[in-house]
Amino acid sequence: MKPNPTKPINTPTDTKKYVESKKLEILSRLFYIITHTNWSLEYSSDVRRQTNVDFSLRSVSIYVGLTIFRDLRDNFAVELWTELGFLKTPWILVFSEIPIAIIVLAIIGSMILVKNNKKAFYLSISLCIGAGICFLISTFLFDAKYLNPIYWMILMGLFMYLPYLVFHTILFERWLAFFKYKGNLGFLMYMSDSVGYFGSVLVLLYKNYGTKGFLWLPFFTATSWIIGLIIAVLGILSLLYFRRKEKNILVVDF
């Protein structure tokens, strides 16, 4: 529609009052949107509700294990390296983390290239399963004296941080996007973090009051076996579960 040259355009006489009125209008509309939006997860059927509960329990269990293991490896790295025989080599604390950061950043960053939410979701679960299996293989080789302690510690950090950051950055978000849930991952992450740090507190209580002559390396090795089994088994169960349940849930992805 062309403007009529004979009809003058109404312009506000007081620009400041006009801008203030528009600000109030925008704020009032924003307030309306916030107060009339359902911020909780909505379920379309009992099948979806059961799917949410089952996956949440499995994912929280994996995340709790990863949080405990991360606290052990990071907070007591000095004790672990000392028991491994590297008391007078403090540089190793820095240089052992550099390859972990580079590899994990490259893998997590490349996930942005996967646009399909379904593929990204199952790829995230597969990464967790692979990390759990590598946990077990690396620990077995270390126990059998086939793997250098330095390489073992680096691999433990790599296979711990990879699924840990997958949960933080990819898995939960792609899960919501894949199944078209209306909500966000805030509550689930808060719940996972709180339970995970509670597990870390229990570990410290056991260390201080539950045993005498505590050594971190045997405890760390045993924990790596347990965490590897938890990640691999629960990851495989989650993958098979969603493959089966996907047929009962109407999912439209693009």
Helix (H, G, I), strand (E, B) or coil at 180: coil
In a domain, 254, yes or no: no
Write the DSSP symbol of residue 182.
S
Rounded-to-integer distance, Cα 120 and Cα 166, Å: 11
Model confidence at 213, pLDDT cuts 50, 70, 90, reads low
Whether residue 222 contacts residue 150, with contact meaning beta carbons closer than 8 Å, is answered with: no
What is the rounded CA–CA span in Å between residue 92 and residue 60? 32
Contacts 24+ apart (CB under 8 A), 196-202: 196/63, 196/64, 196/66, 196/67, 196/68, 197/67, 197/71, 199/64, 199/65, 199/67, 199/68, 200/67, 200/68, 200/71, 200/72
The whole-number average pLDDT for the span 82-110 is 87
Mean pLDDT of the chain: 76
pLDDT category at 55 given cuts 50, 70, 90 is: low
In a domain, 196, yes or no: yes
Whether 15 is covered by a domain: the verdict is: no
- Indicate whether 170 pLDDT > 70: yes
* 26 in any annotated domain: no
CA–CA separation, 194 vs 201, rounded Å? 11
Q: What pLDDT is recorded for position 38? A: 45
Tell me what the mean pLDDT of segment 119-145 comes to. 91
What average pLDDT does the segment 100-118 reach?
Answer: 89
Q: How many domains does the chain have?
A: 1
Position 156 scores a pLDDT of 92
> pLDDT at residue 149 above 60?
yes
Q: What pLDDT, on the 0 to 100 scale, is given for residue 146?
A: 92
| Average confidence (pLDDT) over 98-117 | 89
Whether the pLDDT of residue 45 is over 50: the answer is no
Residue 242's CATH number? 1.20.1250
Is 115 a member of any domain? yes
Highest-pLDDT range among 51-65, 82-96, 157-171: 157-171
Domain that holds residue 189: 54-248
pLDDT at position 44 over 80: no
Select from 96, 234, 114, 212 the least CA-distant residue to 153: 96
d(CA 185, CA 166): 13
Q: Does residue 151 surpass a pLDDT of 50? A: yes
Residue 130 has pLDDT above 50, yes or no: yes
91 in a domain, yes or no? yes
Is residue 165 situated within a structural domain?
A: yes
Whether the predicted pLDDT of 216 surpasses 80: yes
Least confident of 27-31, 186-190, 215-219, 226-230: 27-31
> pTM for the full model?
0.71
- pLDDT over 50 (residue 76): yes
pLDDT band at 17 (very low <50, low <70, confident <90, very high): low
Q: Which residues contact 60 (CB under 8 A, 6 or more apart)?
A: 188, 191, 192, 195
For the segment 41-52, the average pLDDT, to the nearest whole number, is 45
Is 38 part of any domain?
Answer: no
The 10 Å Cβ neighbour count of residue 137 is 14
With DSSP H G I counted as helix, E B as strand and the rest as coil, what are the percentages for the chain, rounded to 5?
75, 0, 25
The token pair that represents 221 in the structure block: 């090795």
Predicted confidence at residue 187, as pLDDT, reads 74
